[in-house]
Amino acid sequence: MPLEELFDSLPSDWNYITLGDVCSRGGGNVQTGPFGSQLHASDYVADGIPSIMPQNIGDNRLVEDEIARIAPQDAMRLSRYRVRKGDIVYSRRGDVERRALIREREDGWLCGTGCLRVRLGEKGANPTYTYYYLGHPAVREWIVRHAHGATMPNLNTSILSALPFVLPPPIEQRAIAGVLCALDDKIELNRRMNETLEAMARALFQNRFLDVTQAALPKGWRESTVGAELVTLLGGTPSRSEPSYWQSGTIPWINSGKANEFRVTEPSEFITKAGLENSSTKLLPERTTIIAITGATLGQVSLLEIEACANQSIVGVLGSERIPNEFVYFWVKRNIEDLISWQTGGAQQHINKDNVNALRIVCPPNNVMRAYICAVRPLFDLIKNNCFESRTLAALRDALLPKLLSGELRVPSPRLRPAGVPAAAKLVEARA
């Protein structure tokens, strides 16, 4: 639905204005970050105030990994560009529809060069409601459509200020934000739990297989290669010119971008049985370790939690009864730098299946491996369950979001909710 059509059937007590008007009425504004002349490459330091760049804007949160930092004195000099809790930041270039809500722990960071800051002000719209409104598919499409530039979209304060904005009464803004935020909070909790579970499993792997082999292999252990011990499969892509390989497909198929994901729980696309049988792609079992072998994703490693085929930029390493998947996954991740050191090619570096097959691997005795799997497999299973639960919650959130933000579904006021009915129960009702 185009954004303009969203306004055709709004509830009578809802209004729409522009994002710029929402900000100015609340005492806020839409502002760009500092220009390059105000902040030079030499101003960045190893330890200081985080400076938000476009690459730090995830679609739901800020990504702090490898974030740039500036000295406290520069942060004071550029204080008008610092963010507060409740601000929303955008990238000025590239993926211009992506945004992040500033939370308590990010208060005081700098809205860096290449970013825009939306400040709603103390009397403005609810920040969390606004954040979710800006994630509406029609809103995102509007931003991309109005951004300047064909090859590299550019966003500015004028475009963002002119964005049409749906404004329910304050109590409904809070209620809508509460419903969607509850889902995102659980997704975030699952993500943090999975980080902890992965760290626990990795520590067990380190203790059982790396610490004991630092000096020499213990008695009964041996060294071999991945190719000698395990099956490796190179993916492929069915011909795009043959519709019968893709249309109405039911077999999951992934591209190399999926190797960037923590776990692979859904496919990039689906292919048909004919596509599988008439191409070089292979069906990889659940919990296969996948390695991206070329291009921008070279060296990325992930684990399939679904049965899926893959394209020719992925090699799958299948575990066995003697060397299970939970060992293979950590062994490949631990040795990926050695593996990609064999890369060749000019503009696009790559490795190949032979390189994967040549990777050295230790083979411990069966009783050592069984003890490890007994300890670590339950952790992998918990990670899998959390991933699929988050996938379900995200689908529910994405289905609810456009309905809640258009007024098609209304959130009952807490004052009207019958006594004894929990706030989280039956939160939406169809608009008559």
Domain for residue 188, yes or no?
Answer: no
- Among 67-71, 198-202, 228-232, the range scoring the smallest mean pLDDT is 67-71
Asked whether residue 430 is domain-assigned, the answer is: no
Average pLDDT over residues 271-281: 98
Q: Which of 363, 397, 424 is the last residue of a domain?
A: 363
Residue 238 and residue 357 share a domain: yes
Query: Residue 100 pLDDT more than 60?
Result: yes
Within a domain: 338: yes
Same domain, 11 and 137: yes
**Structure confidence at residue 1 as a pLDDT band (50, 70, 90):** low
Among residues 225, 236, 334, the alpha carbon closest in space to that of 289 is found at 334
148 and 235, same domain (yes or no):
no
Query: Is residue 395 a part of any domain in this protein?
Result: no
Nearest to 271 by CA among 304, 290, 243: 243
Summarised one tens digit per residue, pLDDT across range 311-323 is 999 999 999 999 9
Pairing of strands 251-254, 68-70: unpaired
Overall number of domains in the chain: 2
- Work out the average pLDDT over 248-257: 97
In a domain, 392, yes or no: no
Residues 9 and 156 grouped into a single domain: yes
CA–CA separation, 264 and 266 (whole Å): 6
Please write the tens of the pLDDT for every residue from 142-172.
Answer: 999 999 887 788 999 999 999 999 999 999 9
146 and 262 part of one domain: no
In the predicted structure, residue 269 carries a pLDDT above the cut 90: yes
Share of the chain above pLDDT 90, in %: 81
Question: Average of pLDDT values for 19-25?
Answer: 95
Report the percent of the chain where pLDDT is more than 70.
Answer: 94
Q: Is the pLDDT of residue 410 over 80?
A: yes
Mean pLDDT in the chain? 92
Residue 400 half-sphere exposure toward CB, CA atoms < 13 A: 22
Asked if the model's pLDDT at residue 53 lies above 90, the reply is yes
Last residue of a domain, one of 136, 168, 200: 168
For residue 348, is it within any domain?
yes
The Cα–Cα gap between 312 and 142 comes to: 35
Q: Based on the fold, state whether residues 114 and 250 are members of the same structural domain.
A: no
CA distance 139 to 181: 19
Q: What is the pLDDT of residue 138?
A: 92
Same-domain status, 240 and 351: yes
- CA 75 and chain centroid, separation: 29
Which helix H or strand E contains 91, and what residues bound it? Answer: strand 88-91
User: What is the span of the domain harbouring residue 355?
Assistant: 222-363
Determine the pLDDT at residue 413: 61
- pLDDT for 191: 95
Same domain, 245 and 104: no
The pLDDT tens digits of the residues spanning 325-380 come to 999 999 999 999 999 999 887 667 899 999 999 999 999 999 999 999 999 999 99
**227 and 147 fall within a common domain:** no
Which pLDDT value is given to residue 36? 77
Please identify, among 313, 347, 363, the residue that sits at the C-terminal boundary of a domain: 363
Q: Are 155 and 12 found together in one domain?
A: yes
Q: In this predicted structure, what is the pLDDT of residue 8?
A: 76
Q: How many CA atoms lie within 13 Å of 44's alpha carbon, on the beta-carbon side? A: 14
Residue 423: pLDDT band with limits 50, 70, 90: very low
- pLDDT band for position 432 (50/70/90)? very low
Q: Are residues 236 and 327 in the same domain?
A: yes
In CATH, what number is assigned to the domain containing residue 76?
A: 3.90.220.20
Q: Enter the tokens of residue 191.
A: 């993500």
The answer to whether residue 184 sits within a structural domain is: no
CA dihedral 380, 386, 392, 394 (to 10 degrees): -120
Give pLDDT, residue 414.
55
pLDDT: which is higher, 411 or 4: 411
Q: How many CB atoms lie within 10 A of CB 207?
A: 12
Q: Are residues 118 and 249 in the same domain?
A: no
pTM here is 0.85
In this structure, is residue 432 part of a structural domain?
A: no
